[in-house]
């Protein structure tokens, strides 16, 4: 078997097992990592659920960081959210990588998918993709005691701090979007569609696969967003319009949130 055939066989196996693929780029590779379905934490979800398992993603991120042939990481998001700590663990690893990283929100990057989207050095969203911002919820039996609410508040502050520190959205704006009433039928929060996520400073720009790959190549070649850790963000969250001005979105289609 030739080297090319071996590479194709390895890629086919990676796609089948984990949905990942490495694309040749010059002398290196661009690694494509999908974050899809529901992000699974310490509890195994039912087999009929589409899930992203953090125990699969974390070792892959370590391998990407240590692989000298990998030039950059492209993260594709189409997720409804899921386990908070598992999502934050993935986001923290992506944020702390020295190699260029670009995220692309396709379809949806909801709930805990928001921190993962902004963890990359540069983030893009398609015009039709949506992002749901809402408070943390607990699943299962919950004790109605002060300690429970203090724990929820601390967890929520962790998410807010991470998003604010890794995007251009001001904290008061993000909190206002998170606790907005009247837009979601069964919850409080906000749905941002495409350009709206860019308007408030949450995402860097509108684009698709071509723009994401070209941006990653630019960064890998020593462009503005190279490994020095600099982040290309809009000069102002109001660059494309007033902060926090979003039309009412259909709320009955709200995906599951943080669990």
Radius of gyration of the chain (CA): 18
Determine phi and psi for 210, rounding to 5 degrees.
Answer: -60, -45
Q: Say if strands 205-206 and 21-25 run parallel, antiparallel, or are unpaired.
A: unpaired
* DSSP code at position 102: E
Q: Which residues contact 30 (CB under 8 A, 6 or more apart)?
A: 22, 23, 70, 71, 72, 73, 74, 213, 216, 217, 220
Catalytic, 210? Answer no
Please state, as a whole number, how many other Cβ atoms lie within 10 Å of the Cβ of residue 23. 14
* Residue 251 among the catalytic residues: no
Q: Is 158 helix (H, G, I), strand (E, B) or coil?
A: helix
- CA 123 – CA 117 distance, rounded (Å): 6
| Residue 73 contacts residue 97 (beta carbons within 8 Å) | yes
Q: How far is Cα 107 from Cα 80, in angstroms, rounded to an integer?
A: 10
Other C-beta atoms within 10 Å of 87: how many?
27
Q: Which of 22, 103, 110, 111 is catalytic?
A: 111
Task: Tell me the C-alpha distance between 100 and 120, whole Å.
Answer: 8
Find out whether 77 and 115 touch, Cβ atoms under 8 Å: no
Catalytic-labelled residue, pool 103, 123, 134, 167: 134
Alpha-carbon dihedral sign for residues 160, 249, 202, 85? positive
Active-site residue list? 111, 134
């Amino acid at each position: 078997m030739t080297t090319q055939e071996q590479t194709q066989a390895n890629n086919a196996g990676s796609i089948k097992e984990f949905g990942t693929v490495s694309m040749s780029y010059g002398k290196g590779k661009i690694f494509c990592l999908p974050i899809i379905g529901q992000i699974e934490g310490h509890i195994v979800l039912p087999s009929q659920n589409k899930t992203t398992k953090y125990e699969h993603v974390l070792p892959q991120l370590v391998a990407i960081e240590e692989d000298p042939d990998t030039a950059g990481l492209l993260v594709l998001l189409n997720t409804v959210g899921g386990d908070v700590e598992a999502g934050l663990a993935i986001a923290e690893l992506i944020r702390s990588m020295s190699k260029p990283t670009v995220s692309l929100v396709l379809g949806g990057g909801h709930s805990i998918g928001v921190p993962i989207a902004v963890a990359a050095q540069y983030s893009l969203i398609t015009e039709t993709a949506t992002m749901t911002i809402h408070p943390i919820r607990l699943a299962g039996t919950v004790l109605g005691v002060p300690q429970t609410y203090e724990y929820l508040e601390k967890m929520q502050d962790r998410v807010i701090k991470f998003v604010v520190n890794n995007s251009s959205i001001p904290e008061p704006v993000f909190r206002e979007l998170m606790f907005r009433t009247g837009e979601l039928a069964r919850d409080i929060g906000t749905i941002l569609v495409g350009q709206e996520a860019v308007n408030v400073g949450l995402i860097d720009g509108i684009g698709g696969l071509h723009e994401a790959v070209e941006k990653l190549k630019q960064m890998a070649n020593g462009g503005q967003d190279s490994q020095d850790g600099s982040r290309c963000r809009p000069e102002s969250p109001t660059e494309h319009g007033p902060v926090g001005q979003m039309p009412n979105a259909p709320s009955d289609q709200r995906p599951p949130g943080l669990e």
